[in-house]
Structure 1
Amino acid sequence: MEEQLLNVVMYSVPSIITGVIAYLFFREHMQNEEERRKFNIVKTLSKESLPVRLQAYERLALFLERISPNKLLLRVAPLSSDKQAYEDLLIKSIEQEFEHNLSQQIYLSDDCWTIVTASKSATIQLIRKVSMSEKIDSASKLREAILNEMLDKAAPSNAGLHYIKKEVAEIW
């Protein structure tokens, strides 16, 4: 009886060890295959999504260029001499540009999108701040005052442009 038990153990132990080793190798192989599949999927998606992401960065760079006060004032001429109407027209133009590019946020990092929206808000605040001056009583004076304000400092949109350039450089 003891001899039979010893024979069973002698034949069972190598089989169990072989089975455990086979299981571990199989599990490792399956994990490697899963990682390889995931890598291939990410590689394929990034190859397809990179042009779309770059286009989103391009569109937002264009947006920031277009809302730069110097360029905005050249592009959007006053319709009348009313200062308030011109201020509203400038802000409406910025908001329309922003809404046109709103969907691009899904291709950007949260930080980048936050900086783009902050640049837009800072540009609007600049226009409103300059417009509050009581010395300015016409659209042409508002235009001139905004341009004079921009002589001393960089456009609010420059921060957003700088961040976009930095993020695109990280992609490469």
Structure 2
Amino acid sequence: MEFQPLLPYFASLLSAIIVGVIAYVFFKTHTDNEEGRRRFLIHKDAQGKILPLRLQAYERVTLFLERIDPNSLLIRIKPTSGNLDTYENALIGSIEKEFEHNLTQQIYLSTESWNVVKTTKNATIQLIRQTAMNEKVETSSKLREMVLNHFMDQLTPSQKALVYIRKEVSELY
């Protein structure tokens, strides 16, 4: 069998395959670029709508951190009696209530930020409990005094958390 008469057919077939491969690569690249462009535009549109919600969530969390800061918490919630346990429960109850009120904000915060908020809440509650268990603390007034004195020369957990939140918000822009 002779291949001479088939050679023009193979040459035509080879050139058709090359043109087909080039066309496939071109259209594949084009459709991938278009898909990427569409995704970018959708993401950009979503960012325009979500960014204000995220900023609002950070504002709410900032307010929460300010409200549970021992310096403001102890001034805002005054003891109604000298009973230490009642005052301790009122302080912790206020912190828990504030936290529950702002629980939905975690949707818009990063996981790290939300963990910082939870850690701050728990650290503040733990500080109040530990101070209340101190033998020198017998009344609600003494509890207030001891907690406030504890943070005279150092940052409160809320202040540390606010530094982290500010840094993260500055990265949103």
Q: Which amino acid letter does the alignment assign opposite residue 42 of structure 1?
A: H
Residue identity over aligned pairs, in percent, reads 53
Deviation at 1:3, TM superposition (A): 4.2
2:13 & 2:148 partners in 1: Cα distance? 89
The residue aligned with 2:153 is 152
RMSD: 1.2
TM-score w.r.t. the length of structure 1 is 0.95
Question: Is there any run of 5+ residues in structure 2 with no aligned partner, and where?
Answer: none
1:134 & 1:10 partners in 2: Cα distance? 98
Deviation per CA, 1:62-118, whole angstroms, max 9, x where unpaired?
Answer: 110110001001111112210110000000000000011111111111111111111
Deviation at 1:136, TM superposition (A): 2.0
Deviation per CA, 1:22-61, whole angstroms, max 9, x where unpaired?
Answer: 0110111111111111111111111110000011111111
The residue aligned with 1:57 is 58
Q: Which amino acid letter does the alignment assign opposite residue 105 of structure 1?
A: Q
Deviation per CA, 1:131-150, whole angstroms, max 9, x where unpaired?
Answer: 11222222122112211112
Three-state SS of the structure 1 residue aligned to 2:149 is helix
Three-state SS of the structure 1 residue aligned to 2:46 is helix
Q: Which amino acid letter does the alignment assign opposite residue 35 of structure 1?
A: G
Aligned residues: 172
Q: Which amino acid letter does the alignment assign opposite residue 29 of structure 1?
A: H
The residue aligned with 1:70 is 71
Q: Which moved more, 1:40-49 or 1:9-18?
A: 9-18
Q: Which amino acid letter does the alignment assign opposite residue 23 of structure 1?
A: Y
Distance 1:2 1:136, change over 3 A: closer
Three-state SS of the structure 2 residue aligned to 1:152 is coil
1:2 & 1:73 partners in 2: Cα distance? 98
- 1:28-67 maps to which residues of 2 (within 5 A)? 28-67=29-68
Q: Which moved more, 1:53-62 or 1:7-16?
A: 7-16
1:11 & 1:154 partners in 2: Cα distance? 80
2:99 & 2:85 partners in 1: Cα distance? 21
2:166 maps to 1:165: yes
2:95 maps to 1:94: yes
Q: Which moved more, 1:44-53 or 1:150-159?
A: 150-159
Deviation per CA, 1:116-138, whole angstroms, max 9, x where unpaired?
Answer: 11111111111111111222222
